[in-house]
Structure 1
Amino acid sequence: MDFYTYQFFYNQAGQGNAMKYYILIALLIVLIFVALKQFRSKEKRKYRDLFVLITLILVFLVGIQVNEYEIGKVNQSNSSQMLAFMENISKNQEVSKSRLAVNSKYIKDEMLIEVDDKIYQINMNTDLSSYKLEETFLIQDKINLVKE
């Protein structure tokens, strides 16, 4: 069973995809360069295929980026909510945030949390605004701690 640490959510909340944007910008620059070459060329068909190919690749990558952007927004929102939740538990239980780990990537009813080597089940109310901790025991004690 995977348990995620406070550091995992902290890294997820601040994670960016700069490299993907650099590739997109580089392709856009190449597209502009090829377009200029095509318009200046006396033979209009010389760079046409390359221009069409780069345009199609760019459109494809933009579509992927839009989808990943939406998923990234949801993941960052979930991570931020989980960070606030873990900070609240840390404060209420008077333990360090680094000693907490949860078995879910988003806040939900009946998720598990490890606090100082004890496992608790979190019972949430319907609007997820309050919770109750109840000690529980795992049938299989093997816990995979995901730190980053």
Structure 2
Amino acid sequence: MTFYTEDYFLHQQQFNSVINYAVILVLIILVLINSFRYLHHQLQTRYRDLGIIFFLLLLIFAGLQITNLEKSYSQQSQSLQMRPFIRAVARDHNISSDKVVVNSTTLTDGIIVRFNKKDYRVNLSPNGDNYTLTRAHVVDHRVIIEK
């Protein structure tokens, strides 16, 4: 079972986005280089063909990046709710927020919260403004903590 700390939500890495931005930048540079080559050597159509290929790849990666941004925006808005929840649990039980871990990246009914080496199931109210913790026992005791 994977648990997440408050720091995980604070420093959530968008590594795939960084790679996509790098590929898009390289493709833009390649399109520009091939455009200049084509304008300089207009009789050689291979530069035009390469430019078209690089431009199409640029459009594909830009579309993928837009899709990833929409998905990450949705996930980020959901994970923003977790940090206040973790802080509330820590404050209510007089412990540091570093000692509280959760098994989900989104705040939903039924997630597991772990602190003081004990597991609790979260029962949220319908509007999500309060919660109750019920002692829970997990089946799989292998724990991976993402920081």
- TM > 0.5 between the two? yes
Structure 2 residue ranges without an equivalent (≥5): none
Q: How do 1:119-134 and structure 2 match up within 5 A?
A: 119-134=119-134
What's the CA shift for 1:137? 2.2
What's the CA shift for 1:39? 2.1
Contact 1:99 1:116 in 2 (8 A): yes
What's the CA shift for 1:117? 0.9
What's the CA shift for 1:56? 1.3
Q: What are the superposed Cα offsets for residues 25-78 of structure 1, whole Å, 9 maximum, x if unpaired?
A: 121121012112212323052312101110111111111111111111122222
Q: CA–CA distance in 1 between the matches of 2:4 and 2:100?
A: 8
What's the CA shift for 1:89? 1.2
Residue 57 (structure 2) pairs with residue 57 (structure 1): yes
Query: Which residue pairs with 2:72 in the alignment?
Result: 72
What's the CA shift for 1:147? 2.0
Q: CA–CA distance in 2 between the matches of 1:41 and 1:20?
A: 31
SS in 1 for 2:11: helix
SS in 2 for 1:47: helix
Q: CA–CA distance in 2 between the matches of 1:146 and 1:5?
A: 7
Q: CA–CA distance in 1 between the matches of 2:67 and 2:58?
A: 14
* TM-score normalised over the length of structure 2: 0.88
Q: CA–CA distance in 2 between the matches of 1:143 and 1:90?
A: 23
Q: What are the superposed Cα offsets for residues 74-96 of structure 1, whole Å, 9 maximum, x if unpaired?
A: 22222221112111111121111
Structure 1 residue ranges without an equivalent (≥5): none
SS in 2 for 1:78: helix
Q: CA–CA distance in 2 between the matches of 1:2 and 1:66?
A: 29
Query: Which residue pairs with 1:145 in the alignment?
Result: 144
| Superposition RMSD in Å | 1.8
Aligned pair count reads 146
Contact 1:5 1:145 in 2 (8 A): no
Q: CA–CA distance in 1 between the matches of 2:107 and 2:136?
A: 18
SS in 1 for 2:45: coil
Identical columns (%): 25
Contact 1:10 1:79 in 2 (8 A): no
